[in-house]
């Protein structure tokens, strides 16, 4: 997938044709593990009280000039697809949006009816990003991070902009 494969109506000023998106392969696992440790402090992610081994999940890599510049992992259960991790490693320019479009397409192919994710209350950049791409906030799981820390102790007490990390924000896109 390239930026030209994005859905009609996407804000084209944010996209660049300088990269492509491809499905992860088993050979990507060492790189995926590096990204997860660097940006998520662990190979395990916790959402809604469930620990997920993120380096074992399917996903997509964004590539530019043979280098990985983005990663998204997802987990399909029944007719729902959860975005577990999502990282643009090269700033703005459409990488995150193209990765998101790839997951939407795959979820539809797999017969999913809902694409969803969890972010934390401090992650206002993520909330803006997903809302601009038609995701709705559907739940605030108050004090869920307290339980998440029992499964993943490396979750910090304070996050972006000095905001205490306390709640899970559930966002969804109906497919």
Q: What is the CATH number of the domain that holds 32?
A: 3.40.630.30
Whole-number pLDDT of residue 92: 73
CB 169 within 8 A of CB 140: yes
The string of DSSP codes covering 103-156 is HHHHHHHTT-SEEEEEEETT-HHHHHHHHTTT-EEEEEETTHHHHHHHH-TT--
pTM: 0.87
Whole-number pLDDT of residue 17: 55
Whole-number pLDDT of residue 2: 42
Q: What are phi and psi of 52, to 5 degrees?
A: -125, 130
Total count of domains within the chain? 1
Whole-number pLDDT of residue 48: 94
Ranges of residues in the chain whose predicted pLDDT is under 50: 1-16
Whole-number pLDDT of residue 120: 97
Residue ranges making up the domain that contains 67: 3-174
Whole-number pLDDT of residue 3: 43
CB 142 within 8 A of CB 167: yes
In 3D space, the residue among 170, 152, 144 whose CA is nearest the CA of residue 45 turns out to be 152
CB 168 within 8 A of CB 118: yes
Total residue length of the chain:
175
Pairwise CA distance, residues 97 & 11, whole Å: 10
């Amino acid at each position: 997938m390239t930026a030209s494969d994005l859905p009609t109506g996407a804000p084209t000023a944010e996209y660049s044709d300088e990269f492509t998106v491809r499905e992860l392969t088993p050979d990507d696992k060492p790189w995926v593990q590096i990204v997860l440790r660097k940006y998520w402090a662990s190979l395990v992610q916790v959402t809604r009280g469930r620990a997920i081994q993120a380096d074992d999940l399917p996903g997509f890599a964004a590539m530019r000039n043979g280098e990985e510049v983005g990663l998204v992992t997802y987990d399909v259960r029944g007719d729902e697809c959860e975005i577990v991790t999502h990282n643009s490693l090269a700033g703005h320019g459409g990488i995150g949006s193209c990765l998101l479009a790839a997951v939407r397409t795959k979820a539809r192919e797999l017969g999913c009816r809902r694409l969803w994710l969890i972010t934390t209350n401090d992650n206002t950049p993520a909330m803006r990003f997903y809302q601009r791409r038609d995701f709705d906030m559907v739940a605030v799981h108050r004090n869920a991070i307290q339980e998440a820390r029992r499964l993943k102790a490396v979750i910090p007490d304070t996050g972006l902009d000095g905001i205490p990390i306390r709640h899970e924000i559930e966002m969804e896109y109906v497919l």
